[in-house]
Structure 1
Amino acid sequence: MSTTGVRATARLTARADGRGGTALPVLESHGPLALRRTRGSGDQARVILVGAMSGPLGGDRLAVEAEIGEGARLHLGSAAATIALPGQGKEEARYDVRVRVAAGGELRWLPEQLISACGSDLRVSTSLDLASGARLVFREEQVLGRAGEEPGRLSSRLTVRLDGRALLDQEVSCGPGAPGGWDGPAVLGGYRALGQLLVVRPEFAERAPEPRVLGEAAALTPLAGPAVLVSALAPDALLLRRVLDEALARLDG
């Protein structure tokens, strides 16, 4: 049990408004997590997550919870990169994301990078529950260390369920104290930026994109379900974003 640090949960709910748009009946911000609605396009609502304080710091327990109703469309991003920093104590920080998307709902989750600063210890857990017929674009980017520094400890688990069944469940741990070999050729191979793009669309059940290599250290892989996963490594955040943006443009195209 954490005895120090901040505890905060941001919550949002998106619902079809019955007039061809998306309403946000719940938009709750707490502590360092501030949700701000911005101008959307068409029937899509748009929300930006703003970090009102530095962190997460050691001992913090932060969470984001989102529910996307049937027929609602939401684009969720962030205003800036999230930087995991060391706290006063030795406790790890936690950042939990819990999302539910109903049939016919659509979520595009496209935040900025998560940077693991030297001395930090962060555990990230993302749980996505999708109903059959839901649509999802989910991007995750992690950068190990700021310019010229060693990374902190970063553990990240992504769990995706479609209609109650596992679609994807994976975990990665990097930095000091992580299992041996995390920086070796079988895992990161010396790269310091890693990311993935998960796209779930009902039409992929009939015709999914073919597996392919993307650039120097990225690949697109169809999953056992109406989804594809793009996994990428890069020497820095800029090149990582470029690879994932190009992959998403192809899938959207």
Structure 2
Amino acid sequence: MDGVTATGVRASARIVARADGRGGTALPVLDGEGPLALRRTRAHGAEARVMVVGAMSGPLGGDRFSVAARVEEGARLHVGSAAATIALPGQAKGEARYEVRLDVADGGELHWLPEQLISAAGSDLRVTTRAELGAGARLVLREEQVLGRTGEEPGRLTSRLTVRVAGRAVLDQELACGSGAPGGWDGPAGLAGHRAVGQIVLVRPEFAGHAVRAQALGECAALVPLAGPAALVSAVAPDALRLRRLLDEALTRLG
């Protein structure tokens, strides 16, 4: 359900993916309105595919968006977005919030691959992503954040990502950058002048017995093992195009 209030837009979307018993994946719940419109696209083998289509600008100041996706046992789901999300200043005061909740059952698989999030000048956005996975679940999760449009300074962007497998936290991190963020975010120990930052989280049951090896992936990217059956690729780049290239190359290398 969504609506417009004096403090901004409220919008939510829900996806449920379920094995259809014939080797494919059904979508018994596909519910999104307003700025979070959902479109079913052509399936790829056993994998159902959904696109988030932005029907409005935003999120703007004061907006509250939430997306929830649940993948049940034996189902496979791929979720992308039709275009980048742009955080913008709005007439309403206060920060905007975008919450993502992902649940993948044992034996389910989710590819969560949205387009970039762009922090425009004057915006203030807090993004919270929480993924809960069963012991035998599989996940590919990509985040890409671009600080400012061409020729402008970024707004304030705070992003927290938590991934839990079988009730155990394998990743819990927060990034704050842009106008008003704590000092040091753009220094040598932070983004070092880069304006695009991203990561891929991989959860695969086989990683439990054969953890990936920590390694540099060029000058601006690294692969590190996480606790449990998970790995993390982190990268920074001067712009969104080069960031995507780094992450795609890392994903191809991991197979």
TM-score range, shorter chain: over 0.9
Paired residues for 1:204-243 under 5 Å? 204-243=207-246
Match of 1:117 in 2: 120
Report the AA paired with residue 228 of structure 2.
G
TM-score by length of 1: 0.98
Displacement of 1:40 in angstroms is: 1.5
Residue 141 of structure 2 is aligned to residue 138 of structure 1? yes
Aligned residue-pair number: 251
Give the one of 107, 128, 131 matched to 2:131. Answer: 128
Displacement of 1:89 in angstroms is: 2.8
Report the AA paired with residue 127 of structure 1.
R
Deviates more, 1:170-179 or 1:202-211: 202-211
Residue 75 of structure 2 is aligned to residue 72 of structure 1? yes
Match of 2:165 in 1: 162
Give the one of 51, 73, 77 matched to 1:48. Answer: 51
Whole-Å separation in 1 of the counterparts to 2:240 and 2:253: 20
Whole-Å separation in 1 of the counterparts to 2:80 and 2:25: 16
Give the one of 9, 16, 19 matched to 2:19. Answer: 16
Displacement of 1:176 in angstroms is: 1.2
SS at match of 1:207: coil
Residue 246 of structure 2 is aligned to residue 247 of structure 1? no
Whole-Å separation in 1 of the counterparts to 2:224 and 2:151: 33
Contact residue 85 and residue 115 of structure 2 kept, 8 A: yes
Match of 1:27 in 2: 30
Residue 189 of structure 2 is aligned to residue 186 of structure 1? yes
Report the AA paired with residue 106 of structure 1.
E
Contact residue 6 and residue 92 of structure 2 kept, 8 A: no
Residues 119-174 of structure 1 show CA distances to partners (whole Å, capped at 9, x for unaligned) of: 00000000000010000000000000000000000000001111111110000000
Displacement of 1:30 in angstroms is: 1.8
Displacement of 1:209 in angstroms is: 2.1
TM-score by length of 2: 0.97
Residues 193-238 of structure 1 show CA distances to partners (whole Å, capped at 9, x for unaligned) of: 0000000000011112211101111100011111110000000000
Displacement of 1:3 in angstroms is: 4.3
Whole-Å separation in 2 of the counterparts to 1:94 and 1:242: 28
List alignment gaps of at least 5 residues for structure 2.
Answer: none
Displacement of 1:69 in angstroms is: 0.1
Match of 2:39 in 1: 36
Whole-Å separation in 2 of the counterparts to 1:164 and 1:227: 14
Whole-Å separation in 1 of the counterparts to 2:44 and 2:51: 14
Displacement of 1:54 in angstroms is: 0.4
Whole-Å separation in 2 of the counterparts to 1:39 and 1:89: 38
Match of 1:200 in 2: 203
Match of 2:102 in 1: 99
Whole-Å separation in 2 of the counterparts to 1:150 and 1:94: 20
Report the AA paired with residue 95 of structure 2.
E
Report the AA paired with residue 193 of structure 2.
G
Whole-Å separation in 2 of the counterparts to 1:154 and 1:66: 23
Whole-Å separation in 1 of the counterparts to 2:166 and 2:231: 17
Seq. identity, %: 74
Whole-Å separation in 2 of the counterparts to 1:164 and 1:207: 21
Q: Which runs of 4+ in 1 moved over 2 A?
A: none
